[in-house]
Structure 1
């Protein structure tokens, strides 16, 4: 199997709810499944990025936000085999059980002193028993599992932080040139599965447009009234459809989303503009699948450099740039024009920070979608910034690599500052302690 096809199959997967709190629920469930009897306490040690992205987001099927309800539900449902869909189909009884655990103050959350951006350590206690599960580097990458001091995983007994297979393949994800060649030549049947994401992400977009989720960014942009200055043009419709999906997801809709590189919002940002444009242009399923393969792979390529979790907004920067590439491909653009589009989009969005997962993600995705279409329009007219312009270099791969420098060299304290600002407001843990 071609490495890029393998990556698509591993990195484009369904999830229900924001992936950071869902990953916490998954870790707690892994530990709780090892125990017998009633759970007496849950201790979490989490990296700052996990806390930042889990504090203000709605948890599907609960009407609640934050880490506490996600973590305690992991102990209640005990179905780690569902991974990122672990909280699907919750019953009210399960939600009530989880809230009882919160009310009885069985949950303790602490910030882990670690350089690892994605780190979740869950230690769960019952009477006379203790189990620990550790995830690192990616949302479902189990690196350690133990019960009563006996290591269950890995079998050699040593906890480690080896990346899972998708992370190990980072160096093989190729350049923009290689991605473009792949999406043009891969047999359609091999990438037809991407159309499952079309149905899934379109459904939650429609839900967001019809309902009253979050800030209602997409819904209000789509409505024609005297207070909507966006009009009823193609661009406004695409922005509204994309933002609406994030509105619904961030406000706790129980509908699944097809994720990209560990994030549902990235999946929304890089696919829905392409899906909406393809429908308006009457493009067939094969062209749409190839455009989606391009948008997803470009998103992953950029994420390789800015990080799985980052002080930069992955949905805006990586997802928006991926969408831009898919849009240009649908418009019949060349490889050079796709590169122009990447340069244009990064020039526009490179400073967008991530201040956690919450309702305003829909605003950032709307901004990124607008930037992607603006950048595509310039690219189709062969317009692109040059090395005279900010962080842009003449070669597109050098520009993408600059995103890594921006994160590592320029934004070392940004995550900590954002988290401190968020925590200073109080009550952000949704009832838990930090």
Structure 2
């Protein structure tokens, strides 16, 4: 086992992000383009993005504002974003930038088009000022710049698709990890001496936005509603309800644009919340101690990273199902589960929530996360009793690695038919709303 390589994977696939990562990626790309406009004021912005990016960015809140959607993200990024902050590109932006972006949007100077590309994660932004223009393109990962042009002249290009911010690629992750290797790594780490800062940060940062979601009204208020029902006795005050409460509160706040960062997983803030918060809540409920909580959160995040390396960054299927599969493993570990039990937890999740549709990033993502958190707890309880979805059932096979491969194949090959259908529905609905 290459211990350092696994730590490098954690640091590559987990990072701070402010707001939904798809609008953040659009803002980041626009900021990079604007940086190459020779210091001139941006007068217009054209965004060409893959259907998956448009789907996920269309209705997501922009942190610190009442705005939603791609046009505002592009405008704020182009007019005041700091690309060195990556997915926190609009963190700390001068409020005057918001007003300037709003004027550009309302004047029709920011346009969004569907790009003709097979790449699921793709953003191409061109900014103009007078006769000058600059262009930036990301592909494959949310901050992976593969092309920069100034007035049509290429100043940076990486045809291999691995830009300066690309991190560790999915093939390397797949070749490095397996369920068994992840479990062995978690058993061998030394929480006091090994560099697990990103895991500690995920616990503290994602807990902070959860607490914010419980304090104030955001989105569908799913977390607050669960807490209120706990307090008035409509549902039991137990470990499962507590985990659902704190996890969904974080998603409520994030999707409504609360000005709080999260630590993402595999390019998704909601996945970062879902891999972390159910495990943190369970660890605290069980009084498991910091050492065991750190190991469990590490296990959860690595399982999700591993599955996502096969599943892909974006898909027609909801990424919360993958993240909650990681959480089910972390919860099983906290309850004393071994490698076999963790495998059972994965099988139980694949047999349950596989097929949940992704219809973009928006307030009701918190509702899907609630469902997946419940499923993760149930999967863990079953695993601890030696109960597992059988190889005769559905896409589950006897070997957990083969079940993961089937899950990933469904997410990849199944997306080609489902994605255009979902996007067409969403764009048609949006056109009617704007008319």
Tell me the TM-score normalized by structure 2: 0.94
Could you tell me how far apart the structure 2 residues matched to 1:404 and 1:171 are?
12
1:330 equivalent in alignment to 2:345: no
Q: Secondary structure at the match of 1:269?
A: helix
Could you tell me how far apart the structure 1 residues matched to 2:230 and 2:167 are?
50
Could you tell me how far apart the structure 1 residues matched to 2:233 and 2:125 are?
46
Q: What residue number does 1:353 align with?
A: 357
Change in Cα spacing, 1:410 to 1:101, as seen in structure 2 (3 Å) is closer
Given candidates 291, 310, 315, the residue that maps to 1:310 is 315
Change in Cα spacing, 1:203 to 1:427, as seen in structure 2 (3 Å) is farther
Could you tell me how far apart the structure 2 residues matched to 1:271 and 1:264 are?
11
Q: What residue number does 2:7 align with?
A: 5
**Structure 1 residue 409: Cα displacement:** 3.4
Q: What residue number does 1:367 align with?
A: 371
Given candidates 93, 106, 109, the residue that maps to 1:106 is 109
Q: What residue number does 1:341 align with?
A: 345
1:239, 1:366 within 8 Å by CA — same for their partners in 2? yes
CA RMSD of aligned residues (A): 1.8
Could you tell me how far apart the structure 1 residues matched to 2:240 and 2:190 are?
31
Could you tell me how far apart the structure 1 residues matched to 2:127 and 2:262 are?
29
**Structure 1 residue 37: Cα displacement:** 2.3
Q: Secondary structure at the match of 1:60?
A: coil
Could you tell me how far apart the structure 2 residues matched to 1:375 and 1:122 are?
43
Could you tell me how far apart the structure 2 residues matched to 1:269 and 1:68 are?
28
**Structure 1 residue 385: Cα displacement:** 1.3
2:174, 2:306 within 8 Å by CA — same for their partners in 1? no
1:118, 1:137 within 8 Å by CA — same for their partners in 2? yes
Could you tell me how far apart the structure 2 residues matched to 1:214 and 1:52 are?
18
Unmatched tracts of structure 1, length 5 or more: none
Q: What residue number does 2:387 align with?
A: 383
Could you tell me how far apart the structure 2 residues matched to 1:27 and 1:411 are?
25
1:221, 1:228 within 8 Å by CA — same for their partners in 2? no
Could you tell me how far apart the structure 1 residues matched to 2:138 and 2:227 are?
40
**Structure 1 residue 225: Cα displacement:** 7.2
Structure 1 residues 9-408: aligned runs within 5 Å: 9-35=11-37, 36-154=39-157, 159-162=159-162, 164-167=166-169, 168-188=171-191, 189-193=193-197, 194-224=199-229, 229-315=234-320, 317-408=321-412
Mean Cα deviation higher: 201-210 or 216-225:
216-225
Q: Secondary structure at the match of 1:15?
A: strand
Q: Secondary structure at the match of 1:426?
A: helix
Q: Deviations over 1:145-179 (max 9, x none)?
A: 1101221113xxx6452473322523333110011
Change in Cα spacing, 1:83 to 1:408, as seen in structure 2 (3 Å) is closer
Q: Secondary structure at the match of 2:229?
A: coil
Q: Secondary structure at the match of 2:120?
A: coil
Higher relative contact order (CA 8 A, sep 6+): 1
**Structure 1 residue 386: Cα displacement:** 1.6
How many residue pairs are counted as aligned between the two chains?
427
Could you tell me how far apart the structure 1 residues matched to 2:397 and 2:415 are?
20
Q: Secondary structure at the match of 2:403?
A: helix
Could you tell me how far apart the structure 2 residues matched to 1:428 and 1:405 are?
35
Unmatched tracts of structure 2, length 5 or more: none
Q: Secondary structure at the match of 2:103?
A: helix
Could you tell me how far apart the structure 2 residues matched to 1:256 and 1:232 are?
29
Change in Cα spacing, 1:291 to 1:79, as seen in structure 2 (3 Å) is same
Could you tell me how far apart the structure 2 residues matched to 1:351 and 1:58 are?
26
Could you tell me how far apart the structure 1 residues matched to 2:309 and 2:254 are?
24
Could you tell me how far apart the structure 1 residues matched to 2:101 and 2:238 are?
46
Could you tell me how far apart the structure 2 residues matched to 1:90 and 1:256 are?
14
**Structure 1 residue 252: Cα displacement:** 0.5
1:340, 1:379 within 8 Å by CA — same for their partners in 2? yes
